[in-house]
Amino acid sequence: MISKLTIDKVFETARLEEVIGDFVQLKKSGSNFKGLSPFSDERTPSFMVSPVKQIWKDFSSGKGGNVVAFLMEHEHFTYPEAIKYLAKKYNIEVEETQQSQEQKKQANERESMYLVSEYAQKYFQDTLLNKEKGKAIGLTYFKERGFTDETIKKFKLGYSLDEWEAFTKEALENGYALEFLEKTGLTIVKEQKQFDRFKGRVMFPIHSMSGRVLGFGGRILTSDKKAAKYLNSPESDIYHKSKVLYGIYQAKQAIAKENNCYLVEGYTDVIQFNQRGIENVVASSGTALTPEQIRLINRLTNNITVLFDGDAAGLRASLRGIDLILEQGMNVKVCTFPEGEDPDSFAKNNEYEDLVLYLQENAKDFIQFKASLLVEQAQNDPIKKAETIRDIVNSISKIPDRIQREVYVQECSRIMEISEAVLFNTLAQLGKKDISEANKKFKQSQKAFEVVREKQAIEKVDVQYLLERKIIEILLLYGNRKEEFEDYILKENEKGELVLEPEVHEMKVYEKLYLDLQQDEIELSNPKFKKIYSQLIAKFSENTEFAIEQYVNEADVETSEEITSILMDEEKYELHDWESKEIYVKDKDKTVGQLVSETILSLRCYLIDKCVNDLGQKTIEKKDDNRETLEEIMNYHQLKKLLSNKLNRVL
C-alpha cells in the first residue's frame, strides 16, 4: 500500500497540464488548454484541461477527471501505478509496505505481465553490461553499430544469452510465474519443456508512451538462415504491434516541441538519429503503418516526415502508408537517402548540422515526391502516365480538407502538365460514393426544417435534473463565497392577497441554498447529486478552506467523473473560440447572487407545477368536486405567479 502522505504529496506537486502535455499536444485557450481527444479519432479539438481546477474533460468520449484518472484511462494504469508514475516524474519518494509473495500472486494479470516485462528488460540490460558473454557478444555488436554507453542506457538495450533457458530459470527463481512468462511471450512452453524465445539475440525493449515495457524486439547475431533476423514479442494483453511505435517514449517531448515527427522503419534508425541529436523520430518496427500508429503521432503533432532508404524496391509499398496519413488529415512530407544509404547509416556517417540540412533540403511534399517517383517509372509511356496521374489523384482524394485538396490538384496539374478540370473530374469520380453519402446527409438535414407533426416524438427535457445539476455546480464553484441575497417573504396584504416582500441580507452561498431547500422541504431527487450535495454541505459546514481539486482527488471514480462533467461543461464553449467571432459570454462570477436566487426560484416553480399536476390528476381520478383540493391548486397558481414575476417570466 502507498502511504497517504505520498499520495497527498503527489497531488500537491503534479501539474495536470504538464502530465497531459506529455501525451497530448495542448494549446492555450483562455485560462485553459485544449487539444485533440486522445480517446477518439477527431480533427477538431474537444479535449479541455483546466490548470486552475486541475481537472480535464474529453467532450467527444465523455471521459474526465483528475490527473490520476487521465493516466488510468489513457495508459490503463491501476491507481497505485498512476501514483507511482507521477511520483517518479516529480522525484517524490514513494512510501509503501513491501509486497509479500502472496500479494504478488494476487496482483491482477495485466499488472503481472507488466512486472514480468520490466524484470526482463532489467535482466537483459544487466546481462549486456555486466555478464562476460553479454559484454563479449551483445555489447560488442552495439559498439560496432556506433552506439555510446549513454544511448544504450537511454534505450535500455540488452542481450539474451545464447542458452535455452537462462532467462526463464532466473525469472522463476525470482518469484515470477511461468504463466505470465508465457503470456508475455518471453518463454515458450512445449509440453514439459520451456525455453527462452529470444535466445542469442540483442534486445530492443518497446515502451508505451508513458515508459512501460510492452514487449521486445530481438535481433539474431548468428548467420542461421532458418531463424528470423528480427523477432518480436507475440500479441498479448499489453502488447499490440499495430498500436505501438518504437521510440515514442523517448521522442514524445521532442515531437511536440518541434511540431514534427520523423517516421523510419527500424529500431537502429531511431537510435542512430537520436544519438546524432534528432530526437523526434519513431519507427513502425518493420510493419505496415496502421491508423492506430498514425493517431498516436497525431496526439503530439499534425506533421509527419517519412524517411525512406535509397532502395526503390520497397518504396511503392510504402506509399500506401502515406495515403493512410493523409486520411487522418495530417501533413506529410517524404525524404529519401542516397542509394545504398538508410537513415541508420546516413546519421552515423554525418554530423548533426549536415543531417539537419539534408533533411531540410530533401524533404518533399508528398505530391512532389510521388509524382517524381511515378513519372520516372512511367517515362514516355502514355498509359503508364495516365495510371500515375490516377494514382496521385487517388491520394489527393484521401485528404479530408477541401481547400487542401484543391491546392494539391493545382500542384498536380502543374507537375503533370494536365488541366485542372480533368483532375477535378477524376477526383469527383473517385469520390462518387462520398458525394452520394453527402447528398443523403444533406437531404436528411433538410427534413429538420420541415414542420414537425404532432405524432412525432419530441425528446423531453428533464428540468428537475438540470436544476439540481446547476445547484451542485453553484456549490462547487461558489459554495464558500459571501453574497448579498434579496429574499422574498410570503405575506398577506391588507386585502388578504399573497405578496412577496423583499429582505436583503448577507450569507454564504452554501448557507443560502441549504436554508432555502430546508425551508421548502426539498430533497434532490437524483441519487448522484444527492450524495454530492450532502458531502459538500458537510465540508462547507466544517469551516475549512474548500479546494475543488482536493475534493475531486478524494472522491470515488463515479463521483469524480460527475463533478468533472459538471465543472467542465461550460468550458467546452472555449473550443469554439467565440470571442474571435466577437461573441462575448456574460461572466457568471459577477452575478452569483442572482444566479443562486434564480435557480432556487426556478426549482420552486417546477415543483409547484408538479404538485398542481398531481393534485389535478387525483381530482380527475376521484371524479368529484373537492373544494379543498381546488383551493390548494389556486393557491399554488397564485404563488407560482408571484415567483414568475420575480423571474421576469410570463405565465
| CA 575 – CA 577 distance, rounded (Å) | 6
Summarised one tens digit per residue, pLDDT across range 104-130 is 555 578 888 999 999 999 999 999 999
C-alpha cell at 289: 503503418
For the domain 4-89, what is the CATH code?
3.90.580.10
Give the number of other CB atoms < 10 A from CB of residue 439. Answer: 10
DSSP strand pairing (498-508 vs 331-336): unpaired
Query: Once rounded to an integer, what is the mean pLDDT over residues 385-410?
Result: 85
Query: Once rounded to an integer, what is the mean pLDDT over residues 180-206?
Result: 95
Give me the residue label for grid cell 463533478.
Answer: 563
- Enumerate the H helices of 350-416 as residue ranges: 352-362, 366-378, 382-397, 402-416
* 142 backbone φψ class: left, alpha, beta (φ>0; ψ -120 to 50): alpha
pLDDT of residue 499: 67
pLDDT of residue 307: 92
Read off φ and ψ for residue 196, nearest 5 degrees: -75, 130
C-alpha cell at 31: 485560462
pLDDT of residue 622: 59
Domain with CATH 3.90.580.10 in the chain: 4-89
* 116 backbone φψ class: left, alpha, beta (φ>0; ψ -120 to 50): alpha
Mean pLDDT of the chain: 81
Q: CA-based angle 33:38:42, to the nearest 5?
A: 90
Domain with CATH 3.90.980.10 in the chain: 101-239
Q: How confident is the model at residue 544 (pLDDT cuts 50, 70, 90)?
A: low
For the domain 248-433, what is the CATH code?
3.40.1360.10
Residue 503 has pLDDT above 80, yes or no: no
- Enumerate the H helices of 398-526 as residue ranges: 402-416, 420-430, 432-447, 463-478, 509-519
pLDDT of residue 449: 39
Domain with CATH 3.40.1360.10 in the chain: 248-433
Query: Once rounded to an integer, what is the mean pLDDT over residues 231-260?
Result: 91
Query: Once rounded to an integer, what is the mean pLDDT over residues 479-485?
Result: 83
Question: Which string of b and e fits 353-389 if b means at least 16 CB within 10 Å?
Answer: eebeebbeeebbebbebbbebbbeebeeeeeebeebb
Query: Once rounded to an integer, what is the mean pLDDT over residues 261-272?
Result: 94
Q: CA-based angle 579:580:584, to the nearest 5?
A: 20
Summarised one tens digit per residue, pLDDT across range 169-184 is 999 999 999 999 999 9
Beta strands in 42-84 (DSSP E): 47-50, 55-58, 64-65
Helix H or strand E segment including 205: strand 201-207
Query: Which DSSP letter does residue 57 get?
Result: E
Choice among 276-280, 350-354, 612-616 with the minimum mean pLDDT: 612-616
Summarised one tens digit per residue, pLDDT across range 383-394 is 888 888 888 888
Find the distance separating the first CA and the last CA of the chain, reported in whole Å: 60
Give me the residue label for grid cell 444527492.
Answer: 530
Fold of 101-239: DNA primase DNAg catalytic core, N-terminal domain (3.90.980)
> Which residue did the predictor score with more confidence, 368 or 176?
176
DSSP strand pairing (281-283 vs 261-264): parallel
Choice among 116-125, 441-450, 620-629 with the minimum mean pLDDT: 441-450
Residue 308 has pLDDT above 90, yes or no: no
Summarised one tens digit per residue, pLDDT across range 156-167 is 999 999 999 999
Summarised one tens digit per residue, pLDDT across range 79-113 is 888 898 999 889 998 887 665 566 555 557 888 89
Residue 651 has pLDDT above 50, yes or no: no
Residue 334 three-state SS: strand
| CA 515 – CA 505 distance, rounded (Å) | 13
pLDDT of residue 640: 56
pLDDT of residue 99: 58
| CA 148 – CA 272 distance, rounded (Å) | 10
Q: How confident is the model at residue 192 (pLDDT cuts 50, 70, 90)?
A: confident
Closest-CA residue to 65 (of 570, 551, 589, 526): 551
> Which residue did the predictor score with more confidence, 592 or 244?
244
Residue 360 has pLDDT above 80, yes or no: yes
Query: Which DSSP letter does residue 65 get?
Result: E
Q: Judge whether 364 and 333 are in contact, CB under 8 Å.
A: yes
163 vs 159, 172, 176, 374, 518, CA distance in Å? 12, 16, 19, 49, 76
Closest-CA residue to 26 (of 53, 71, 58): 58
pLDDT of residue 454: 45
* 340 backbone φψ class: left, alpha, beta (φ>0; ψ -120 to 50): left
